[in-house]
Amino acid sequence: MTTTALDPTSNHSQAAASPDHKRVLLLKPRGFCAGVVRAIDIVKIALETFGAPIYVRREIVHNRYVVNELAEKGAIFVHEIEEVPDGQRVIYSAHGVSPAVREMSKARNLKVIDATCPLVTKVHIEAVKFAKQGYSLVLIGHRDHDEIEGTLGEAPEVTQVVSNVAEVDALQVPDPDHVAYLTQTTLSLDEARDIIHALKLKFPNIVGPHSQDICYATENRQVAVRNVAHNAGLVLVVGSTNSSNSNRLVEVSRNLGTVGYLIDNSQAIDPAWLKGVSTVAVTAGASAPEILVEDVVNYLRQSGFASVEEVEVMPENVRFGLPPEIIQAIGTAGSAESVSVR
Q: How many CA atoms lie within 13 A of 91 on its CB side?
A: 34
Please state, in angstroms and rounded to a whole number, the distance separating the CA atoms of residues 233 and 30: 19
Q: Applying CB under 6 A, does 187 fall inside the site for ligand SF4?
A: no
Q: Applying CB under 6 A, does 313 fall inside the site for ligand SF4?
A: no
> 229-254 burial by CB neighbour count: b if 16+ within 10 A, else e?
bebbbbbbbbbbeebbbbbbbbbbbe
CB-nearer residue toward ligand SF4: 251 or 309: 251
Question: Which one of the spans 117-125, 155-163, 227-235, 272-280 is the region binding ligand SF4 (CB under 6 A)?
Answer: 117-125
CB of 194 to ligand SF4, least distance (A): 21
Q: Applying CB under 6 A, does 155 fall inside the site for ligand SF4?
A: no
Among 24, 94, 127, 322, binds ligand SF4 (CB under 6 A): 94
Residues of span 23-42 touching ligand SF4 by CB under 6 A = 33-36
Examine the residue annotation and report whether 126 is marked as an active-site residue of this protein.
Answer: no
What is the spatial order of strands in the sheet that 279-284 belongs to? 2-5, 307-312, 23-28, 279-284, 234-238, 260-263
Among 206, 215, 308, 330, binds ligand SF4 (CB under 6 A): 215
CA distances from 148 to 19, 40, 120 (A): 45, 21, 10
Q: Applying CB under 6 A, does 186 fall inside the site for ligand SF4?
A: yes
CB of 334 to ligand SF4, least distance (A): 29
CB of 119 to ligand SF4, least distance (A): 4
Q: Applying CB under 6 A, does 119 fall inside the site for ligand SF4?
A: yes
Please state, in angstroms and rounded to a whole number, the distance separating the CA atoms of residues 107 and 28: 45
Q: Applying CB under 6 A, does 43 fall inside the site for ligand SF4?
A: no
CB of 38 to ligand SF4, least distance (A): 8
CA distances from 216 to 29, 221, 278, 335 (A): 11, 9, 31, 32
Q: Applying CB under 6 A, does 97 fall inside the site for ligand SF4?
A: no
CA distances from 300 to 140, 187, 241 (A): 37, 29, 21
CB 297 within 8 A of CB 308: yes
Please state, in angstroms and rounded to a whole number, the distance separating the CA atoms of residues 14 and 19: 10
The number of helix segments (H) and strand segments (E) in the chain equals 11, 13
Question: Which one of the spans 104-112, 115-123, 135-143, 189-197 is the region binding ligand SF4 (CB under 6 A)?
Answer: 115-123
Please, what is the angle between helix 324-333 and helix 34-50, to 10°? Answer: 40
Q: Applying CB under 6 A, does 120 fall inside the site for ligand SF4?
A: yes
Give just the sign of the alpha carbon dihedral 55, 99, 321, 209.
positive
Q: Applying CB under 6 A, does 218 fall inside the site for ligand SF4?
A: yes
State the residue number with the nearest CB to ligand SF4.
35
CB-nearer residue toward ligand SF4: 184 or 231: 184
Phi, psi torsion values for 199, nearest 5 degrees: -65, -40
Among 14, 93, 183, 185, binds ligand SF4 (CB under 6 A): 185
Annotated catalytic residue within 147, 149, 154, 191: 147
Per-residue contact flags (x/-) with ligand SF4 for residues 230 to 259, judged by CB under 6 A: ---------------x--------------
DSSP string across 126-180: HHHHHHHTT-EEEEES-TTSHHHHHHHTTSTTTEEEE-SHHHHHT---S-TTSEE
Q: Applying CB under 6 A, does 56 fall inside the site for ligand SF4?
A: no
Q: Applying CB under 6 A, does 286 fall inside the site for ligand SF4?
A: yes
Active site residues per annotation: 147
> Which residues are near ligand SF4 by CB under 6 A?
33-36, 94, 117, 119-120, 185-186, 215, 217-218, 245, 286
